[in-house]
Each structure stands twice: as structure tokens, then as C-alpha cells.
Structure 1
Amino acid sequence: RANTKTTMEAARPLANFPPSMWGDHFLSFSLDNSQLEAYAKAMEEPKEQLRRLLIDPTIDSTNKLSLINNIYCLGLSYHFVEDIDGQIAKLFNDLNLQDYHDVDLYTISLHFQVFRNHGYKFSCDVFEKFKDSSSGAFKGDIVTDVRAMLSFYECAKLRLMEGDSILDEAFAFTQAQLKSVEKTLEGILAQQVKHALERPFHRGHPMVEARLYLLDYEEECSKFDSLIKLAKVHFNYLQLLQKEELRVVSKWWKDMNIQVIAPYARDRVPELYVWILALYLEPYYSQARIISTKIILLVLLLDDTYDAYATVEEMRLLTHAITRWEISAMEKLPEYIKPFYKIILKEYDGLEKQLAKEGRAYLVEASKQAFQAQARGYLQEAEWRHSGDVPSFEDYMKTGLVTSTHGLLSKSALIGMGEIVSEKASSWYQSHPKILIASEIISRLHDDVMTFEHERERAKTATGVDAYMKTFGVAENVALEEVMKMVENAWKDINEGCLKPREVPMDVLAPIVNLAKMIDVAYRYNDGFTFPEKTLKGYITLLFLDSVPM
């Protein structure tokens, strides 16, 4: 029997993941409600002052848009939704592209970003005047204004599939220019350029980017005293709330005894809470964050069971049990999987009862069905791995979009959001819209590009890169280039999907968009999730350990 066990262990695709670097650190937090209330009270006055500035008719359009941009970048927009919408709608309706004839690149880039960020399709024809009509290249004189180059670079990240080819050129141009001058810059401008080249704002973690924006642009924001005051108190207010949410989730994980049940799995509670925090930072989505973090932790356990421990036969049994979704299905499961299976059923049952009271159990059902599809997708990938087959790129992507997890996670994100998620919004999600497919493509392929070498070392695994090479008969470097082109095109589809008119409110779209951003955060340079010390450690420190000096 000992020999059989040894043989079984040898057949397991063990990954030996690094342990958690946080241990029980966030379990001991105790929320000081009086401090929380003090912060809430301290926000009232600057909030009112900012509201008055937003609707002040004597402020010109550029200063108004600059204020709106700063509010947006600091993560404060949710306090002023109606005021901002009203102001931008008016400015956009009064717009005349001829008025931009004598306007500088920095100002035009600012206007472009604000309108596009808020769903208005501001034409990129305004940038044509910065190109030489005879050569078609950008004019040499614009490169001397680094601030304008930086703003133009951020605009390029908002480009669409159709009609924005000048922004494709602008991205290559501004990136090259900024890289060439980066080492010659000093002070805050050097910091701004370095940060943007490392991680463009529009592809970053919204909460982290907001904190870093305060560091990089505090001087600019200081034009509005109430803005700086509100931003600083707001960050400290959110930090208390979020540390409490992280404590709740950490306690749940520990109480479930996961590290004993599944010692082979990655222990990444703070990292996954940060992942979910990217989806929505508003305090009123606290319940949604807690629910979504629990579900993403169950998905991680599922992933690591299939990918880093179970044999193919055990996976088939688990997939069958998850498809049946009833406690009696547990009998046929291996002993070590039974506690995990029980947790899945128990958690979803609790959510179903909770949401049934609100008449919204259909949201839990959508998440459950996506969870079942996830298990089937993981099994399919394991079958390919087991047989040594490399599927066609089309077959790979059919399964890969499911195992990207973005269908499951975005549907699960809706569960605790409340009345903003109507039955119509849930049906829209179920229709697998283009923007959701784009988010899944980004997740699947960007992850593959950054992890395929590591996966090959562990086992003969079919990734999108391998499937592309096989299907199209191309070399690895060509496959990598083509796959990353697909990722960039998917970003254009995401930008398109955020423009008005939208089929669902922006808050309901946000989980899809922000999940894609988290893939860029985690996989831009390496597998930043499995090895969180590269990126996520710094984010956790910034958000939960460093408070903002008042």
C-alpha cells in the first residue's frame, strides 16, 4: 500500500507553490468605528465644496474637465455621479471640433481622455493637426513637451478597433519618445513618466492607481484645496473598511481549515481580496467584495486541485460531482476532495437562501452554472495534458474562454451589488456579450504568454501559444506576437463596450473591465499571482499597511 501511495504521489502534477507571505497578519485587525465615523464626517465639507466647483458656470471647460479628470483618477467619481454626468453631457453637446484648431496637444489630450473615460466618443480627428501632411509622421516640435507626450500616450490606451488608427501610431510614437527621454528627466515629471511606462493608468488597479495618482499629481490637484483634503481622508476611510473586509475573508478561510484540507493549493487570501477590490472600490459594494472574494478563493482551490494535485481519474469524479451538485454525489469522491466539495455546496446554498429573500436567487444560479462550466473546462485542459494532445487554436479558445475565469468571476461579482443589477442586466451577462468575450481573451492569452514556459517545465501542457504554433505552423516568436495582437484588439473591444449608449449601467460593466485590468497588473511582466512578491506584495503594503498622511 505504501508503494501504491508513493506511485500515486509521483503521478500527481505537483507545483510546489511558494507559501503565503502574510500568514495571519490581517486576522488581528480590529475596526475602530469611531475613527471610521470621524473620517466620514471629515469628508462632508470638502465634498460639498467640490460639488459647488463642479457646477460652477464661471469655470471654463478646460479647468472643469481638469477637475473632473482629477476626481476620476483619485477614485472619487462615485460621490458626484449626477453632477459629473450633467457637466460632461453639456460640454460634449456644446462641442465644436473647429474650436480645437489652435489648442495645444496637452489640452486636447486631456479633453479626449475625460470624454472617452466617461463614455463619450470624442473623435480622434482632433489629433490630425499634429501630423505632417506630406510625410504622415508626427511633427517634431511636439516631442519637446513631455507632459503633452505623456497625456497623449494615455489617450492611446483608449483606442477603438475602428477609426482610431492615428492612436495606434500615437502609442508607438509616444512610447518611443518617452522611453528616449525618461533618463534625462528629473523630479515629479520623471516619476510620472516612469510610472506611466511601467503601467498606463487605464490598465492599472483602480484603487492602487488612485493612491499613486495622489503621489504623482499632488501638486496639480492642489489647485483645488478641497480635492486634496477629500482624497486623503477618503483613502484612510476606505482603508479601514477594506481591512475589516479582508479580516472577515481571512477568518472565513481559516475557519474552513483550507490549509489542512488542501495543503497543495496556493494560500493567497490578501492577493485575491486585492484582485476583487479592483472590481469596485465603492463602500456600498462591501458585501459584494466579501462574496466575490470567497468565490474567487473557491475557484483558486478548484484550479489548484485540477492543475497541481488531482489525478485525471479524480478530476473526472470531481467534475461529475460538481455537475450533479448534490451532497449524495460526494460518496464517490476521494476522501481528500470531500471536505472541499462540501464547502462549495454549503457556500452556494447560503448565498441562494440570502438572495432568495430579495427575489434575486437567479444571480446565484448564474454563478453556480458558471462554476460547473469552469470545472468542465479544467477537466478538458487536464485531458489534453494527460494525453499529450495539443488542440487546434479554435478548440483551445473555446475551452480557454471558460477557464479564463472571467465569465464566472464577473457573474459572481453581481451577487452582492444590490438593486443596480436588474434581471435585464443579468440576462445581458448570460448572453455572453462582446465585451465579456474580450475580457476572457485578455485573461486567457495574456496569462498564457507569461506562463507557458513555466507550464512546459512542469508538464506537457497545451497553452494558447502552443495551440497557435500547431494550428498555423508558425515559430514560437511569431505565435507570441500574434497572440499579443489579439490581446491588444480585445482591449479595443473593451474600450468600445464602455462607450454610450450602454446596455447596462457602468457599475455593472465595471467587473468585466476591471478583471481585464487585473490581468495586465498580474501578468504584464511575469506570473505576478503565483509569485506575488513581484507586484501584489507592494499593492497590499500600499493599500492596507501605509496610511495617507493627513
Structure 2
Amino acid sequence: MAPSKAATSPPATGSQQETGDTAVAASSSAAAFEPCVWNDFFVTYTPPRSEEWMRERADDLKEGIRQMVEAAAGEAMSAAGTLTLVDTLERLGIDHHFSQEIDMALARVHSEELEHGGSSNIHIVSLRFRLLRQHGLWVSADAFDRFKDETGGFSASLAADPRGLLSLYNAAHLAAPCEEALDEAIAFSREHLEAMKGELGSPLAEQVSRALEIPLPRFPKRLETMRYIAEYEEEDEAHKGSMILELARLDFNLVRSLHLKELKDLSLWWRHTYNTMKLSYARDRLVENYFWTCGVFHEAKYSRARMMFAKAVGLLSTMDDTYDVHATLEDCCKLNEAIQRWDESAVAVLPEYLHVFYITLLASFREFEDCLEEKEKYRMSYATKVIKSVSEYFLEEAKWSREKYAPSFKEHLQVSVMSSVFPTMAVVLLLGAGDDVATEEAFEWAVRVPDVVSAGAEITRYLNDIAAYKAGKNKGDAASSVECYAREHGVAGEDAVAAIAGLAERAWRRINGARMGAARAVLPAAQLVVNLARTMEVMYLGGRDAYTSGADLKDLVAALFLEPVPV
């Protein structure tokens, strides 16, 4: 969430002038963020009406498909057929309707060896490896040894199977730490996929191109569904009239209708909140924030969680910008003091320009609590704990910036990983979730910053700092991880960027390993944290910072929320 430090300094704003001399030191490094590219579009946008028949038809289709998945769980379908069915349901975004049946089907596949035909098919072996690992089930990388030749390398004959190569490439990106054999699988498949890109037909060409940018296990599910609905029909004529495809289209439109309603409600809330706070230095990014939120959880059952998460992220973003680009060190200390006290009376310690923000922050969290059932209200203590914690880390970074302190790489990481806000969001995303995900055990797990969370935070920090380096450093900015690494190791900036990208890759492997080692009771929460990490790959794709520069995300937002899916 921390901004790329590329913007130029603006003239003093009204809020800066109100604070007098206290804002002078900070104004030289304040970032002039681009205005919101959406304005009030989603406040006034009227989506096509969702017909009741769509919901009724979807319910009918679910029953027919459930019978198919139950057959897969009950050995009435081959392992290869089961894996293909599960993969299709997941990529079409309708797997959550059949989660129990899918778990049973994959448990069966996990307990059995692939039949001979499947065991010699690189696509099926890779599919089994990927799906089981994504569901927290361990599969040995030895599964790929059968596709190697006498020299120990992958057989050259695989180069003639682009679909198999793509499956291998995606599967290998679920490597855990110390699985160097899968490095070879990635390098081998990438080399051949790159070489054949111009020769592939549709939709395989699009799928390869997409995976080479962001491998499938790291690509947000909702975005994959948006693309795959059209590709699934194109893959096979038989799919055109299938009830799976029909349900996917209906479900996508029904969920999109809910998303647009939430987006309108959130836009109205944010417009009032942003205009009332009058902190013009802060990023105005509600739409990008909600796009991000849908990457974490898009299903209808998470509506309450999405609303809480998006509001919390908007307020955290404002807090981040206050510490990072506007407030003096004295103001930062006062803001942290007020947040630690978490009481309206603490507003008295703040400079006047932060009064409304602070009152709004506390009021919003009271509203969150009001939305929780009595048995769920314990969750608020975890949420406020991580807000207070991230404020301390924001303050530490502000001290580095204002005092021109150059930390070691290790010291920088200890603070900046936490100030990335990822560990805070890993708790806040549970706030409005159902009891099947947001258990007290899950909150205790998340607040301890387990490896899935700390690795996701490292990915966020590394990708953000690479984007900041590519955009250019501003006077007054604190040193980034790229700069700390370059100084400590005596290397050029581009070499440091490559090294930091390598550390991000290692962090993904820690996520993969930790997910397979997670207790079953916290696995649903861990999967949401993985989804949060996936969104970072899109937000920072190619070294951009699409949250800070909303125009970079405009086409994706339009495609996800506005382009029709025919039914």
C-alpha cells in the first residue's frame, strides 16, 4: 500500500497552511498523487437489472453439477476426469458452490496413484500436483521424474506438447523451499513456451501469455474466471451447451451485480468520508481498493467482509499517506499517540487537520462492531490491535525519513515488512467473514504473523520497492529495500532490483510450503491470505504501482465490472 515515491512536491494545500510551521518540513517531500480516474462513475452507474430467473436457473444447474462432482468423489470418474472437472470449476469461478464435494474428490485422488494413462501424461500429472498443493495437500516433486531423460533433464519430446508445458510451468510455481528440481521445470517450460508463443492458436496463446506474466497459482481467481469463461467455450465445441458453462455465466453476472451494488455504496461512503476529512494529500482510490478487495474474496457470501475490508483499507491508506508524505515528525508522534489510546478524547493531542480523520477512524470501527453478531464482537480486539501495531511501524519509518537515517537491509526489512500493511490486512480480511473461516483460532494464527503472512508481506514490500525504484526517488523519501540492498552489497540499482525480485520468488515458495503445512482449522483463512498475496502480483505487475497510479488499472476495472458476459 505504501506509495511509490515518484510524485513531485505540490504547493502547500489548505490543510498544510492550517498547521502553520509544523507542515513546512514535510511539504518538501509530499507526493502529488494523481486524481481519481473514476470520479463518481460508480455512484451514478445503473447496471442491467438482474433477473430472478437467472438465480432460479443457476440453482437448478447447481444440482446437476453437484451430482457430477459427487460422482467424482465416489470413484465413478477416473482421476484424470476428476482433476479436469475440478480445474474447470475453479477456473470458471463456481467451485465454491461445491467445496465439500471437491474436497472429497481431491482427497480420493490424493490417496490413489494415477492410472497408467494419466501417469504418463504431463498435463494430468502437473494438474494433479497443482490442484492438490493448492488445497494444502502434499505431493512430492518426484512425480515429474518420469518425464526426464537419461541425462537427468526434461525430455525434449515435451517441447511438442504446449498444453503439457503450460501445465508443468504452472504446477512448478507451487514449489516449496529447497525444491530446486522445480527450478529446472520452470526454466525448461518457460523457454519452450516463450519460443512457441507466436505459433499457438487461441485460446492457448492467451493462456500462455497470461501465465508468462503471472503464473496461474499467483493470478487472482476472479480475473482468471473473467478470461476463462470465453476461453472454455472456445476450447471445445462440446462446451458451448454445457451446464457448467451456463452456470459460470449466470454466476458471474449475479455476483457482478452484487459487486456493483457494493461499489456504489462504498463510493458514496468514500466520497463523503474523503471530502469530510479534507486531506487532499491522500490518495483517492476507492475503486482500485475495491478491485483489490474482489481479488481477495469475490463470492457472494463474503459481502460483509468485503465492505469492512474496503473501508478499512481506505482509512489505512489515508493513515499511511499522512505518515509518509505529509505530516512532520511531531505530527506523526501525536497521531501515533492518539491511535494507541484509541479513544475520542485523544483527538485533543492531534493537530487540527487530523481531527476529522481520527474521529472517522474510530467511528468506522464502531460501525464494523455494530455489523457483527454478539458472538463475533471479540474480533474487534484483534483488528484494533493490528491497527495500533502498524501505526508504530509507520512512525518508525517516518523517523527514518525525517532524520535521514539509513538502516541496514535486515533492519529495514524488520520494519518495512510490517509497514507494508499486509499483516494488518491479513487480520482485517477476517473481520466480516463467516464462522467457517473467521474462527478465534484463525485470528490468533493471523495476529502472530505466521509464515504465510510474513512471506506475503515480504512480497508486497519487495514489489512495492521495485516499483518505487523504477518510478524514481523523491527528496525526503526513506531508503527502500532496493537502496539498502544496493548500498550494503555494493551493487548497482538494477542488480539490486534483480536480487530483490529473487527474494520475492523465495517468499512465494515459503507461502507454498506454509500453506501445505497449515492446520486444517486455519487453512480457509490461509487461503484468503494467499489470495491477498496474489493481488499484489497484479497491482505491481511489470514494476508499476497500480494503486497509486489508478490509470494503470482502469482497463482491468472496466473489464471486471462493466463488460457484459452473455447468458
The alignment's TM-score, normalised by the length of structure 1, stands at 0.93
CA offsets per residue over residues 165-194 of structure 1, 9 Å max, x none? 221111112112111221233332222222
2:33 matched residue in structure 1? 17
Q: What is the Cα deviation at residue 354 of structure 1?
A: 4.0
2:7 matched residue in structure 1? none
* Shift in CA distance, 44/138, structure 1 to aligned 2, threshold 3 Å: same
CA-atom RMSD, angstroms?
Answer: 2.4
CA offsets per residue over residues 110-145 of structure 1, 9 Å max, x none? 2222222222222221211222222x3222111111
1:187 matched residue in structure 2? 202
Of 33, 42, 67, which aligns to 2:85? 67
Distance (Å, rounded) in 1 between the aligned partners of 2:459 and 2:93: 24
1:268 matched residue in structure 2? 285
What amino acid is aligned across from residue 345 of structure 2 in structure 1? S
What amino acid is aligned across from residue 87 of structure 1 in structure 2? A
CA contact (8 A) 1:259 1:267 kept: no
2:172 matched residue in structure 1? 156
* Shift in CA distance, 238/184, structure 1 to aligned 2, threshold 3 Å: same
1:90 matched residue in structure 2? 108
Equivalent positions of 1:167-206 (< 5 A) are 167-206=182-221
* Shift in CA distance, 31/215, structure 1 to aligned 2, threshold 3 Å: closer
1:303 matched residue in structure 2? 320
Does residue 132 (structure 1) correspond to residue 153 (structure 2)? The answer is: no
Does residue 508 (structure 1) correspond to residue 525 (structure 2)? The answer is: yes
Aligned length: 544
2:124 matched residue in structure 1? 107
Distance (Å, rounded) in 2 between the aligned partners of 1:359 and 1:58: 42
CA offsets per residue over residues 418-445 of structure 1, 9 Å max, x none? 3222212211112221111111111111
SS at 2:378's partner residue? Answer: helix
Q: What is the Cα deviation at residue 9 of structure 1?
A: 4.8
Distance (Å, rounded) in 2 between the aligned partners of 1:79 and 1:54: 11
Q: What is the Cα deviation at residue 249 of structure 1?
A: 0.9
Equivalent positions of 1:384-395 (< 5 A) are 384-395=400-411
2:330 matched residue in structure 1? 313
Distance (Å, rounded) in 2 between the aligned partners of 1:182 and 1:278: 27
What amino acid is aligned across from residue 463 of structure 1 in structure 2? S
What amino acid is aligned across from residue 522 of structure 1 in structure 2? M
1:398 matched residue in structure 2? 414
2:461 matched residue in structure 1? 444
2:515 matched residue in structure 1? 498
Q: Extract unaligned runs of 5+ from structure 1.
A: none
* Shift in CA distance, 319/455, structure 1 to aligned 2, threshold 3 Å: farther
* Shift in CA distance, 60/8, structure 1 to aligned 2, threshold 3 Å: closer
CA contact (8 A) 1:390 1:462 kept: yes
Q: What is the Cα deviation at residue 153 of structure 1?
A: 0.9
Of 368, 380, 383, which aligns to 2:384? 368
What amino acid is aligned across from residue 188 of structure 1 in structure 2? P
SS at 1:502's partner residue? Answer: coil
Q: What is the Cα deviation at residue 500 of structure 1?
A: 6.0
Q: What is the Cα deviation at residue 239 of structure 1?
A: 0.5
CA contact (8 A) 1:363 1:411 kept: no
1:233 matched residue in structure 2? 250
CA contact (8 A) 1:381 1:462 kept: no
* Shift in CA distance, 14/504, structure 1 to aligned 2, threshold 3 Å: same
2:341 matched residue in structure 1? 324
Q: What is the Cα deviation at residue 503 of structure 1?
A: 4.3
Distance (Å, rounded) in 2 between the aligned partners of 1:148 and 1:158: 16
SS at 1:125's partner residue? Answer: helix
1:528 matched residue in structure 2? 546
Q: What is the Cα deviation at residue 290 of structure 1?
A: 0.2
Q: What is the Cα deviation at residue 360 of structure 1?
A: 2.5
SS at 1:359's partner residue? Answer: helix
Q: What is the Cα deviation at residue 475 of structure 1?
A: 3.6
2:231 matched residue in structure 1? 216
**Percent identity of equivalent pairs:** 30
The alignment's TM-score, normalised by the length of structure 2, stands at 0.90
SS at 1:263's partner residue? Answer: coil
Moved more, 454-463 or 210-219: 454-463
Distance (Å, rounded) in 2 between the aligned partners of 1:101 and 1:38: 40
Q: Extract unaligned runs of 5+ from structure 2.
A: 1-15
Moved more, 388-397 or 6-15: 6-15
Of 145, 151, 157, which aligns to 1:141? 157
CA offsets per residue over residues 393-452 of structure 1, 9 Å max, x none? 221111112111111111111111132222122111122211111111111112111213
Distance (Å, rounded) in 2 between the aligned partners of 1:523 and 1:2: 34
Q: What is the Cα deviation at residue 219 of structure 1?
A: 3.1
Q: What is the Cα deviation at residue 470 of structure 1?
A: 3.2
CA offsets per residue over residues 210-268 of structure 1, 9 Å max, x none? 11122333334764501100000010000100111111111111222437611111111
CA contact (8 A) 2:288 2:547 kept: yes
Distance (Å, rounded) in 1 between the aligned partners of 2:38 and 2:63: 39
Does residue 77 (structure 1) correspond to residue 95 (structure 2)? The answer is: yes
1:51 matched residue in structure 2? 66
Q: What is the Cα deviation at residue 337 of structure 1?
A: 0.9
Does residue 35 (structure 1) correspond to residue 50 (structure 2)? The answer is: yes
1:479 matched residue in structure 2? 496
2:8 matched residue in structure 1? none
Q: What is the Cα deviation at residue 522 of structure 1?
A: 0.9
Q: What is the Cα deviation at residue 47 of structure 1?
A: 1.3
SS at 1:299's partner residue? Answer: helix
Q: What is the Cα deviation at residue 310 of structure 1?
A: 1.5
CA contact (8 A) 2:136 2:523 kept: no
* Shift in CA distance, 518/259, structure 1 to aligned 2, threshold 3 Å: farther
Moved more, 434-443 or 9-18: 9-18
2:4 matched residue in structure 1? none
* Shift in CA distance, 362/60, structure 1 to aligned 2, threshold 3 Å: same
What amino acid is aligned across from residue 120 of structure 1 in structure 2? L
CA contact (8 A) 2:518 2:526 kept: no
* Shift in CA distance, 264/314, structure 1 to aligned 2, threshold 3 Å: same
1:426 matched residue in structure 2? 443
SS at 2:519's partner residue? Answer: coil
1:340 matched residue in structure 2? 357
Distance (Å, rounded) in 2 between the aligned partners of 1:112 and 1:220: 22
